[in-house]
């Protein structure tokens, strides 16, 4: 495919040959000796460092970079930059605002983080919001452990469970069937003769 912004009328022989030669080997990575290549993918032009068993490390080319003329030095600059994750953040792991210490039961860290709904305390998979009027500076490890224990015992982990907790009762119809017998002439006459 053509690079973004290039019209088919603008393609000349040299560019066409270069595009057909993609992916292009730029050279070996100085640290690993593994190949660094450039190509055009479904999300646009990129450089890739093939690390063998560790996988491949991809970086998108910037607007000023050209897939046909990029050098190994520029590719290494791009590969040295932190990888962008979905959503635009540069880091997968959040850095805590404050580290309170470790949980006495399992030795896992108890930290304070800033989230979209305010400041919260975290231990493992349990997040507990700070109570109104409490600041993170005055929060102690003991208070944080109480908040985490209360949150864990309430059973709410912040995410909705995929399993339904409500039980469904079997539906029964409200109609009951009563058997009735029709009276016949014979039945009427028998009833009269008995009463006489």
- For residue 160, count other CB atoms closer than 10 A to its CB: 7
Please give the Cα distance from 152 to 183 (Å, whole number).
69
Two tokens, residue 43: 């999300």
Q: What angle do CA 90, 91, 97 make, to 5 degrees?
A: 115
The residues that bridge with 47 in the sheet, in sequence order, are 38, 59
**Rounded distance, CA 49 to CA 52, Å?**
9
Structure tokens at 180: 């009735």
CB neighbours of 27 closer than 8 A, spacing ≥ 6? Answer: 35, 36, 72
**In angstroms, rounded to a whole number, what is the distance separating the alpha carbons of residues 189 and 194?**
9
| Number of separate helices (H) and strands (E) present in the chain | 4, 8
pLDDT value, residue 72 = 93
Q: Report how far residue 196's alpha carbon sits from residue 193's, in angstroms, rounded to the nearest whole number.
A: 5
- pLDDT the model gives residue 182: 62
User: Do residues 95 and 84 make contact, with C-beta atoms less than 8 angstroms apart?
Assistant: no
24/109 Cα distance (integer angstroms): 46
Written as tens digits, the pLDDT of the chain (196 aa) is 677 778 888 888 988 888 888 899 999 999 889 999 999 988 889 999 988 777 888 899 888 888 889 999 999 999 888 877 655 554 456 788 888 888 888 888 999 888 888 889 999 889 999 888 888 888 889 999 999 999 988 875 555 555 555 555 566 655 655 666 666 666 555 555 555 5
């Amino acid at each position: 495919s053509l690079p973004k912004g290039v019209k088919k009328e603008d393609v000349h022989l040299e560019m066409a040959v270069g595009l057909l030669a993609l992916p292009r080997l730029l050279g070996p990575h100085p640290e690993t000796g593994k190949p660094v290549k450039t190509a055009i993918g479904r999300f646009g032009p990129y450089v890739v460092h093939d690390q063998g068993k560790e996988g491949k490390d991809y970086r998108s080319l910037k607007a000023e970079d050209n897939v046909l003329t990029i050098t190994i030095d520029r590719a290494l600059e791009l590969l040295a930059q932190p990888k962008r994750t979905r959503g635009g953040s540069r880091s997968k792991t959040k850095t805590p605002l404050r580290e309170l210490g470790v949980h006495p039961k399992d030795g896992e860290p108890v930290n304070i983080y800033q989230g979209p709904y305010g400041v919260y305390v975290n231990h493992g998979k349990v997040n507990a919001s700070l109570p109104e009027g409490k600041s993170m500076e005055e929060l102690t490890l003991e208070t944080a452990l109480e908040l985490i224990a209360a949150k864990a015992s309430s059973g709410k982990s912040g995410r909705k469970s995929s399993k339904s907790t409500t039980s469904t009762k079997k539906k029964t119809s409200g109609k009951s069937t009563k058997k009735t017998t029709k009276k016949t002439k014979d039945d009427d006459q028998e009833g009269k003769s008995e009463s006489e």
